[in-house]
Homo-oligomer: A and B are copies of this chain.
Amino acid sequence: MHEIPLILLGIGGVGRALIRQIIANRTLYAEQYGLKLGVLAICDRTGAVLGLGGGIDDQALLDLIDLKEAGGALTEHALGGDDYGDMSTIVSLAGRPGAVMVDVTATDATIPALLAARERGYKIALANKKPLTDTQEVYNRLTQAGATGGVAHFQQSVRWEATVGAGLPVIATQNRLVASGDKIKRMAGAFSGTLGYVMTGLQAGRRLSEIVREAHQLGYTEPDPRDDLGGMDVARKALILARGLGWEVELSDVDVTGLYPPNLDDLNVDEFLDALPELDKAMDATIRDAAARDGVLRYAATVENGRCFVGPTVVSADSPLGRLTGTDNLAEFHSHWYSPNPLVLQGRGAGVDATAAGVLSDVIELAFTRE
């Protein structure tokens, strides 16, 4: 039995789903993979819990899930604790050969801990986009080691499938195409279920203001719907795809167009929803204009010719992106071997369970990877 010690950063929705899946899959991993996943430490902004020996036992893990769901803080139960910014105690105490640090937070405060982990030779699995969309210098330190090799070599020890499309194997597909020497000329995709829902409604002739208000009420959007409609989350995904091709690009280089103009940024959420109808007419004209060109409007990320574009995009109604409706994510890879038809991936691209499943696949692959 090969033991994989995990250091878990974050115990929000994805972290809790991940712990539940680890516990549910213990027999599978033991019998089919010869693996035991041990949770050595869990840290979040409220503190940290360290396990000794084989890690935190399953009952204690389930208790921690209950604690967090009741709004508790980890410090209450901590053997040691710290914020993400100064994780040296955790990193050194949890240190074991083959340790994997798993970041399922949504903060850039984990970056120092991740860099410290890399320096100690730990592997890393990320659902958190922030460390990969920080400066190119941070990205390079996380994913490559300057002295010994290129980007691709170190992608073997650092994985981030769940940052784009949750459990959909978008990054695995990209890495396989790159590894085969295929030339990826263009990636285009829909990477927001919320924006997919909005675009499908618009195509059906509904008003933007009405769709957004409904989606907000149903809880399909972030508490502030501008966090979806502004496109920054999709921009981070586009940047991760671009950097995965070896491009040196910063987040500020991504050309992002939101579904609302910047002057609505100063309003509160209710004022914003009330102001949305003033955008309906222009949006309707844009949709009609696309249709007149035999196209449809999608909120797409496009990575091509050294540039990343994120925003409403007219695509052929007959293309994979053009045929997409609803909240599924979709990625098109246009490459030397996949031409004229792209390689296409489609499916659920969000949700804590699908995201945790993507992280868990990465952890299992890392367990069989040599540095």
- Docked CA distance A161–B24 (Å): 28
Cross-chain contact B25 with A149 (CB below 8 angstroms):
no
Q: In the assembled complex, which residues on chain B have CB atoms less than 8 Å from the CB atom of A180?
A: 21, 167, 357-358, 360-361, 364
Q: In the assembled complex, which residues on chain B have CB atoms less than 8 Å from the CB atom of A75?
A: none
Contact pattern, A 351-371, Cβ under 8 Å of B = 1, otherwise 0:
101100110110011001110
- Docked CA distance A353–B328 (Å): 31
Q: A25-B181, A172-B172, A357-B180 are in contact. Are A152 and B347 (CB under 8 A)?
A: no
A338 at the B interface (CB under 8 A) = yes
Cross-chain contact A33 with B343 (CB below 8 angstroms):
no
A153 at the B interface (CB under 8 A) = yes
Nearest CB in chain B: distance from A117 CB, A: 19
Partner of A347, one of B149, B341, B358: B341
A137 at the B interface (CB under 8 A) = no
Residue of B nearest to A347 (CB): B343
A344 at the B interface (CB under 8 A) = yes
Residue of B nearest to A333 (CB): B347
Cross-chain contact B342 with A338 (CB below 8 angstroms):
no
A286 at the B interface (CB under 8 A) = no
Residue of B nearest to A35 (CB): B153
Q: In the assembled complex, which residues on chain B have CB atoms less than 8 Å from the CB atom of A246?
A: 32
Residue among A148, A156, A177 with max Cβ neighbours from chain B (10 Å)? A156
- Docked CA distance A343–B170 (Å): 11
Q: In the assembled complex, which residues on chain B have CB atoms less than 8 Å from the CB atom of A34?
A: 148-150, 153
A184 at the B interface (CB under 8 A) = no
Task: Count how many chain A residues have C-beta atoms less than 8 Å from C-beta atoms of the other chain.
Answer: 55
Nearest CB in chain B: distance from A360 CB, A: 5
Cross-chain contact B150 with A31 (CB below 8 angstroms):
yes
Q: In the assembled complex, which residues on chain B have CB atoms less than 8 Å from the CB atom of A353?
A: 337
- Docked CA distance A182–B32 (Å): 14
Cross-chain contact A328 with B347 (CB below 8 angstroms):
no
Q: In the assembled complex, which residues on chain B have CB atoms less than 8 Å from the CB atom of A345?
A: 343-345
A60 at the B interface (CB under 8 A) = no
A151 at the B interface (CB under 8 A) = yes
Residue of B nearest to A148 (CB): B34
Q: A167-B337, A172-B172 are in contact. Are A28 and B153 (CB under 8 A)?
A: no
Cross-chain contact A181 with B360 (CB below 8 angstroms):
yes
A348 at the B interface (CB under 8 A) = yes
Residue of B nearest to A28 (CB): B181
A346 at the B interface (CB under 8 A) = yes
Query: What are 30 A-B pairs at a CB distance below 8 A?
Result: A21-B180, A31-B149, A32-B150, A32-B152, A32-B246, A33-B153, A33-B179, A34-B150, A34-B153, A161-B176, A167-B176, A167-B177, A167-B182, A167-B337, A172-B173, A176-B365, A179-B360, A180-B357, A181-B357, A181-B360, A326-B341, A328-B341, A337-B351, A342-B347, A344-B344, A344-B345, A344-B347, A346-B346, A369-B370, A370-B370
Q: A33-B153, A370-B370 are in contact. List 16 more A-B contacts (CB 8 A).
A: A21-B181, A33-B152, A34-B153, A156-B368, A168-B343, A169-B173, A172-B172, A177-B361, A180-B358, A181-B357, A320-B346, A337-B353, A337-B357, A343-B346, A343-B347, A368-B369
